[in-house]
């Protein structure tokens, strides 16, 4: 049982529409986990630049890491760091080649809030018992900046998929930023919904295997000050057929 809970039947919404948006005030958690969240937010100040942006953009910063997750036990194991790859079928701009991102900090891997949030997110998915087994979870800390000379693009690839079964996106911070609206599309890329994450821990969960998504560029609201939008996102990859949990 997760130490994070919410006031919505997220599982039913995901089963019906494939996506669900949650506001921060709908989440409930312990004071200890909230302290873990505050500790995690500090990690965003130490994100290396993303060197794979089109047009040699300088607006996105990130770290990335992998876990093995057993749904039956709730145990998370850190996996060795490896390069990141998406096919061009799902990402036409930055897919099709290997990208090398810096690993998550040791403190990020061990952060109790991050680990409990993975468990909470997984509990929302409308999965049958056949989904048991060791899932692979990719965790990304991403910060996008914008100033008067360069807009920040959370998804420079536009409408895309991440290549997972389910994906969850949690807002970490939004400072002096206009734009950033999220759009969800069906399998044929017809628009289903557009919304904006505005408060820290606002989030959305969706079935990446059947839907598409994108986030609009951000720009500064107050002249002379940069805009910032940071997220914590998880990609959930199911176990290969025929495997069992360890």
Q: What is the pLDDT of residues 99-116, one digit of tens each?
A: 899 999 999 999 999 999
Whether 229 is covered by a domain: the verdict is no
Q: What is the CATH number of the domain that holds 41?
A: 2.60.120.620
Q: Specify if 207 maps to a domain.
A: yes
Judged against a pLDDT cut of 80, whether residue 124 lies above it is answered with: yes
Query: What's the structural domain count of the chain?
Result: 1
Residue 129 has pLDDT above 70, yes or no: no
CA trace torsion 114, 53, 224, 202 (10° rounding): -30
State which residues form the domain around 118: 5-224
Q: What is the pTM of this model?
A: 0.93
Is residue 235 assigned to a domain? no
Is residue 43 in a domain? yes
- Rounded alpha-carbon distances, angstroms, from residue 245 to 12, 71, 137, 165: 26, 8, 14, 18
What integer is the mean pLDDT of 69-82?
94
Name 40's Cβ contacts closer than 8 Å, sequence gap at least 6. 108, 111, 113, 114, 172, 232
Question: Can you give the pLDDT at residue 87?
Answer: 75
pLDDT greater than 90 at residue 138: yes
In this prediction, residue 187 carries a pLDDT of 96
Domain contains 238:
no
**How does residue 3 score in pLDDT terms, banded at 50, 70 and 90?**
confident
Q: What string of DSSP letters covers 205-217?
A: EE-TTT-EEEE--
Residue 237 lies in a domain: no
Give pLDDT, residue 237.
Answer: 96
Residue 215 is assigned to a structural domain of this protein? yes
Question: Is residue 93 assigned to a domain?
Answer: yes
């Amino acid at each position: 049982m997760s130490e994070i809970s919410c006031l919505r039947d997220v599982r039913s919404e995901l089963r019906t529409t494939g996506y669900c948006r949650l506001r921060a005030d709908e989440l409930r958690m312990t004071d200890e986990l909230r302290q873990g969240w505050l500790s995690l937010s500090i990690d965003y100040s130490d994100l290396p630049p993303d060197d794979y942006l089109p047009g040699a953009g300088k607006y996105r910063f990130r770290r990335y890491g992998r876990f093995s997750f057993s749904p039956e036990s709730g145990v998370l194991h850190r996996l060795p760091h490896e390069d990141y790859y998406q096919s061009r079928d799902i990402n036409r701009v930055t897919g099709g080649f290997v990208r090398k991102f810096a690993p998550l900090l040791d403190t990020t891997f061990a952060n109790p809030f991050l680990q409990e949030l993975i468990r909470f997110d997984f509990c929302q998915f409308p999965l049958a018992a056949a989904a048991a087994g060791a899932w692979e979870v990719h965790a990304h800390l991403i910060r996008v900046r914008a100033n008067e000379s360069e807009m920040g693009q959370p998804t420079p690839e536009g409408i895309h998929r991440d290549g997972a079964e389910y994906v969850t996106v949690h807002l970490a911070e939004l400072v002096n930023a206009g734009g950033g609206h999220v759009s969800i599309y069906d399998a044929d890329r017809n628009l289903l919904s557009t919304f904006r994450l505005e408060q820290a821990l606002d989030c959305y969960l969706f079935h990446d295997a059947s839907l598409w998504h994108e986030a609009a560029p951000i720009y500064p609201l107050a002249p002379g000050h940069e805009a910032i939008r940071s997220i914590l996102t998880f990609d959930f990859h199911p176990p290969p057929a025929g495997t069992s949990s360890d």
